[in-house]
């Protein structure tokens, strides 16, 4: 570890020892090879939580130069955003070129007679004349969002979502988060993909979704949590394959596309099973493209996925449930362009969801 990084730990040592929650960090630090299992067990034998935190801060300073950014990512993954920001703000080695981002956490209107609501998704394209890759994005691009005080944008995104999750949602029907940005592949266990911030760093979709899990956001327990992700899922370009079909190709003339970055009856075996729900229940993540592939947009009309989603919602939201709507979106988007794109979703909802009711 560089001397400047050691000084950073020493400067913030007292606060780290006072606030650091070490228990959630062990498995992450092991998975990311920050420490070996024997090293972690030595730290755990230090005693109380404060003693373990003190020993952890000391041992971190003996690791390599990637120890600091790796530790910051572990803090982010466990929701310790203030400490992550504390270390990240002073770490000049983490600064990178900005990238456009449009992060829109959206809360639904107050409860009515049903778990349904009228909602218009934010669908403006991220940047007019969009950029094809992260390296092409100029500093201060239109549509970018910087956090106050020069804070690492990805940390700001995480903190904003954490604040949203910590609100009292008792009077609300559901929560919707819509993100439009550049994206990439990322290692994952549950949800694929990651979203770039204006600083060039990324936050995984999995981390974003887990902020709103039932255990971390109890006021949204049993309520739908919907995520709409407009971003590339990787660098692969899909040329498609030949099929016999009468479906016309939906393509705007003279434009070349660009990449973008009913309740059921439960039969429980256990009499008390209905008293709790699975932690990741009532979650739906809708992706603009298949994992690993680019996401396209028209220079004039905007992103294929967002533009189509807006159009289909406007026409069918008062009659069809969300999953049927997303199937229509996938079908329409898949018929466009020379290069192909297919949206999809990870669905863990327990009931049919309607945006509007008659």
- pLDDT tens readout for residues 78-89: 888 888 888 876
What's the mean pLDDT when you consider all of the chain?
Answer: 74
Q: How confident is the model at residue 292 (pLDDT cuts 50, 70, 90)?
A: confident
pLDDT at position 262, please?
30
Calculate the CA dihedral of residues 87, 88, 92, 93 and round it to 10 degrees: 100
CA distances from 202 to 46, 181, 230, 269, 353 (A): 34, 11, 14, 43, 30
**pLDDT tops 80 at residue 150:** no
Q: How confident is the model at residue 280 (pLDDT cuts 50, 70, 90)?
A: confident
Better-scored residue on pLDDT, 86 or 279:
86
Element (H, E) at 333: helix 322-334
Alpha carbons 283 and 346: distance in angstroms, whole number: 8
Q: Identify whether the C-beta of residue 290 lies closer than 8 Å to the C-beta of residue 278.
A: no
| Per-residue tokens: 160 | 């904003």
Of residues 55, 77, 334, the one with CA closest to residue 209: 77
Q: Of 74, 169, 174, 182, which residue is the catalytic one?
A: 182
Alpha carbons 323 and 262: distance in angstroms, whole number: 12
Alpha carbons 65 and 57: distance in angstroms, whole number: 14
* Range 20-29, long-range pairs (CB < 8 A, 24+ positions): 20/53, 20/56, 20/57, 20/80, 20/83, 21/49, 21/78, 21/80, 22/49, 22/52, 22/53, 22/56, 23/49, 24/78, 25/56, 25/74, 25/75, 25/78, 28/74, 28/77, 28/78, 29/70, 29/71, 29/74
Handedness of CA 13, 15, 17, 19 (dihedral sign): negative
Does the annotation mark 174 as catalytic? no
Structural domains in the chain? 3-94 (1.10.533.10), 101-347 (3.40.50.1460)
Average pLDDT for residues 47-60, to the nearest whole number? 90
For a pLDDT cut of 70, what percent of the chain falls above it?
71
Q: Which tens digit of pLDDT belongs to each residue from 2-38?
A: 788 888 888 888 999 999 999 999 998 988 888 888 8
Alpha carbons 47 and 56: distance in angstroms, whole number: 12
Q: Identify whether the C-beta of residue 349 lies closer than 8 Å to the C-beta of residue 283.
A: yes
Of residues 128, 139, 132, the one with CA closest to residue 99: 139
Q: Of 174, 175, 184, 232, which residue is the catalytic one?
A: 232
pLDDT at position 93, please?
39
pLDDT at position 277, please?
62
Of residues 238, 252, 232, the one with CA closest to residue 298: 252
CA distances from 204 to 14, 186, 207, 210, 262 (A): 30, 7, 5, 10, 32
């Amino acid at each position: 570890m560089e001397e400047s990084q050691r000084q950073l730990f020493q400067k913030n040592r007292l606060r780290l020892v006072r606030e650091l929650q070490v228990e959630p960090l062990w498995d992450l630090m092991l998975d990311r090879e920050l420490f070996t299992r024997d090293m972690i067990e030595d730290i755990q034998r230090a005693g109380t939580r404060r003693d373990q935190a003190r020993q952890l801060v000391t041992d971190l300073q003996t690791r390599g130069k990637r120890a600091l950014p790796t530790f910051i990512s572990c803090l982010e993954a466990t929701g310790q955003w203030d400490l992550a920001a504390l270390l990240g703000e002073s770490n000049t080695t983490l600064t990178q070129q900005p990238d456009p981002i449009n992060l829109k956490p959206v809360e639904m209107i107050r409860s009515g007679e049903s778990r349904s609501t009228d909602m218009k998704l934010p669908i403006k394209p991220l940047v007019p004349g969009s950029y094809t890759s992260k390296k092409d994005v100029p500093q201060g691009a239109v549509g970018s969002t910087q956090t106050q005080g020069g804070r690492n944008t990805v940390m700001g995104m995480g903190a904003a979502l954490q604040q949203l999750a910590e609100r009292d949602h008792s009077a609300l029907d559901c929560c919707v988060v819509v993100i439009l940005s550049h994206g990439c592949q990322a290692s994952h266990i549950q949800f694929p993909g990651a979203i770039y911030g204006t600083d060039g760093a990324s936050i995984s979709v999995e981390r974003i979704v887990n902020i709103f899990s039932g255990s971390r956001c109890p006021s949204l327990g049993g309520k739908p949590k919907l995520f709409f992700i407009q971003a590339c899922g990787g660098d692969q370009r899909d040329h498609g394959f030949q099929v016999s079909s009468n479906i016309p190709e939906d393509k705007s003339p003279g434009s070349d596309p660009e990449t973008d970055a009913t309740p059921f009856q439960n039969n429980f075996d256990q009499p008390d099973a209905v008293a709790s729900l699975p932690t990741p229940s009532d979650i739906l993540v809708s992706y603009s493209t298949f994992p690993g592939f680019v996401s396209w947009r028209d220079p004039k009309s905007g992103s294929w996925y967002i533009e189509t989603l807006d159009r289909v919602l406007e026409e069918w939201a008062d009659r069809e449930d969300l999953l049927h709507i997303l199937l229509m979106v996938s079908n329409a988007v898949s018929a466009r362009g020379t290069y192909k794109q297919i949206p999809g979703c990870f669905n863990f909802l327990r009931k049919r969801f309607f945006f509007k009711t008659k």
